[in-house]
Amino acid sequence: MARRIKFFDTTLRDGEQTPGVSLNLQEKLEIALALERLGVDYVEAGFAIASNGDFEAIQGISEALKSTSVVSLARALEKDIDRAWDAVKSAVSPRIHIFLATSDIHMKYKLKMTEQEVLENSAKAVAYAKKFTGDVEFSPEDATRSRPEFLYRVLAGAIQAGATCLNIPDTVGYTNPEEYTRLIKGILANVPGIEKVEISVHCHNDLGLAAANSAAAAAAGASQIEGCINGLGERGGNAAIEELVMLFNTRRDYYQLDHNIDSTKINRTSKLISSLTGIYVQPHKPIVGANAFAHESGIHQHGVLEERTTYEIMTPESIGLTSNRMVLGKLSGKHAFVRRLEELGVVLDTDDAVNKAFGKFKALADRKKDVLDEDLLALADDNYDTKAKRFALVSFQISSGNRMINTATVRLKVGDDLVTNAATGDGPIDASYKAINEICGYGFTLKDYALRSVTGGHDALGEVNVKIECNGKVYLGRGVSTDIIESSILACLNAVNRVV
């Protein structure tokens, strides 16, 4: 008989700790709603005491989600727990997630606590959180490098104090599937009251074993898996939720695990998170990489043409991919446009969002002969805009060549005014950015620039992601257009508006 496994998504907390990723409230809400549609059981929305921005994001997500539990991380401190509860208390199902390290190296060098102090503080923190909510998760940080006998005592104390979920994190990606299996089975056999609580696992990918370790723990009896979409996270990242979902789906004969994830929304969710974080998956990434369902070898192609299962153990359709072209054109109506978006897993919640996306589609249909589903998804992603829109592109003109001075003239709408400025640079994009910088007056510095083609062909959409630094902070910007200069300018303005 199949057993149910829960998925705990920490893209908005641990995933945001990926170097270079910084999400604002609107972006976090967008991701949280996508995760709810995907079907995750828990969304760890942030670390409430870390910053006002994190607190506001958790609070906003708690109010927005209708069926998914919302979680805030907290240290084993009353001030952290108070702040966490204030952030999640409006959620349909709030959870407080407390952590305290239990390995010798962490207790000695980071916590500077004795075993007794860790035992007392962990139980005390859980009991305090239990006053606010019936759902309290406890994580003994660096559990896989902790002495099992001490770990059992800490977990038993947490259960006695009221914990409803015990997470066993492989914090530094140190363990392997065999060791992790022994640890989970040891906990099941040696911790009093363990049958009353959920056992969760949180694996990092430092040695490339996060998914394998998570799957081994699930097979050994864990009932919840924590991870991030696209495997985001600190250092080598976390277990990739999409990999584990498709592992359990494809090898149901072995794992016999059910879950609540709608796998057909995986591709859409992955692309949304890539777009908003600016972190793209490598082409050979399992499940969501560009090459995951590509076949170049003649032998492979022949096999797939004869029988797909020769080289495909899962179908592209199972993760929401489609080979169908979008047959809408410039004469298509809004109803057909919205329906195709919905078929692709895109939900535009307001009339304003629909009108904006439809307007962009019409403009693209005038410029591009064939509009594909990938184009439509890119337009939907680009429909996101920051609240602050102080600077908007009106027009630009480029004069460029290898034996001339590269010049850009950019006209922006700044509030209610039109402002035009020209600048020279090492190339058309450098010149454009200098012109924008002079108009805006922020003195930003370009830290990173990435260009990719959304689809193939001479009229493909070009997607640009930039990171600019201003006043010691880094801001992400994104732009999409069939003209790479225009998409570069739009990306820069998107980032500049975030500074506002």
Let me know if residue 440 belongs to a domain: yes
pLDDT at 161: 98
- Top mean pLDDT of 18-27, 142-151, 381-390, 463-472 is at 142-151
* Beta-ladder partners of 464: 451, 479
**Cα 149–Cα 155–Cα 161 angle in degrees, nearest 5:** 140
Let me know if residue 306 belongs to a domain: yes
pLDDT tens, 328-342?
A: 666 677 877 887 787
Instruction: Confirm if 494 and 480 have CB atoms less than 8 A apart.
Output: no
Half-sphere exposure (Cβ direction) of 19: Cα atoms closer than 13 Å = 3
CATH number at residue 458: 3.30.160.270
Mean pLDDT of 250-254: 97
Same domain, 308 and 409: no
| CA–CA dist 229, 14 (Å, integer) | 11
Same domain, 264 and 297: no
Same domain, 360 and 398: no
Same domain, 368 and 435: no
Residue 375 CA: distances (Å) to CA of 461, 466, 482: 7, 20, 10
Let me know if residue 227 belongs to a domain: yes
Same domain, 185 and 138: yes
Same domain, 362 and 442: no
The region that residue 47 occupies, defined by phi over 0 for left and psi between -120 and 50 for alpha, beta otherwise, is: beta
pLDDT at 384: 55
Same domain, 358 and 265: no
Tokens 């070898």, residue located: 297
Let me know if residue 55 belongs to a domain: yes
Instruction: Confirm if 319 and 264 have CB atoms less than 8 A apart.
Output: yes
Let me know if residue 328 belongs to a domain: no
| CA–CA dist 274, 97 (Å, integer) | 26
pLDDT of 372 higher than 50: yes
Q: Give the amino acid at 414.
A: V
| CA–CA dist 95, 50 (Å, integer) | 17
Banded pLDDT at 369 (limits 50, 70, 90): low
Let me know if residue 214 belongs to a domain: yes
Residue 308: give the domain boundaries.
292-321
What are φ and ψ of residue 289, in 5° steps?
-70, 155
pLDDT at 476: 84
Tell me which of 437 and 359 has the higher pLDDT.
437
Same domain, 152 and 251: yes
pLDDT of 307 higher than 70: yes
pLDDT of 387 higher than 90: no
CATH number at residue 64: 3.20.20.70
For residue 8, give both structure tokens. 């705990």
Burial class (CB in 10 A: 0-12, 13-18, 19+), 395: exposed
Lowest mean pLDDT among 8-17, 320-329, 340-349: 320-329
pTM of the model: 0.81
Let me know if residue 113 belongs to a domain: yes
pLDDT tens, 399-423?
A: 999 889 999 999 999 988 999 999 9
Same domain, 220 and 173: yes
Total domains present in the chain: 4
pLDDT at 125: 98
Angle between helices 177-190 and 148-161 (to 10 degrees): 50
Same domain, 410 and 346: no
Q: What is the mean pLDDT of the chain?
A: 91
Instruction: Confirm if 232 and 197 have CB atoms less than 8 A apart.
Output: no
pLDDT over 90 for what percent of the chain? 70
Same domain, 88 and 197: yes
pLDDT at 383: 62
Angle between helices 241-250 and 266-277 (to 10 degrees): 170
Q: What is the DSSP string of 259-312?
A: ----GGGHHHHHHHHHHHH--PPPTT-TTTSTTTT---SHHHHHHHHH-GGGT-
Lowest mean pLDDT among 99-103, 365-369, 424-428: 365-369
Mean pLDDT of 123-128: 98
pLDDT tens, 41-55?
A: 999 999 999 999 999
Instruction: Confirm if 494 and 478 have CB atoms less than 8 A apart.
Output: yes
Lowest mean pLDDT among 57-71, 96-110, 141-155, 438-452: 438-452
pLDDT tens, 72-116?
A: 999 999 999 999 999 999 999 999 999 999 999 999 999 999 999
Q: What is the DSSP string of 50-77?
A: T-HHHHHHHHHHHHH-SSSEEEEEEESS
Same domain, 302 and 428: no
Let me know if residue 282 belongs to a domain: no
Residue 298 CA: distances (Å) to CA of 223, 305, 307, 323, 348: 42, 10, 14, 20, 42
